[in-house]
Structure 1
């Protein structure tokens, strides 16, 4: 499945187990924050490093 997503131009970041999914729930640092403000309807790409940092911030 990763190959399909990457072929469309998106990156894939493994977020861990199902138990770890709470780190990317609504309201956590990874929920939209790395992509820019909600007032910018086009957003911006966020690399793996930004996503991992936001997930780590939610882990605490």
Structure 2
């Protein structure tokens, strides 16, 4: 019987377990909903630590 190529690098068991663990939908209280979407709409300026981390990433990681 010919082997069929694996479609994902993630083992099937891990995918099934994640589907059981991670909720399909997250319910937020109105105040939490406002806070989350406010930050998504107008994100804060990057901090110095974030800028430093991005600079370090550019220096050490080679993208493909």
Give the TM-score of the pair, scaled to structure 1. Answer: 0.29
Greater RCO between the two (CA within 8 Å, min separation 6)? 1
Give the TM-score of the pair, scaled to structure 2. Answer: 0.28
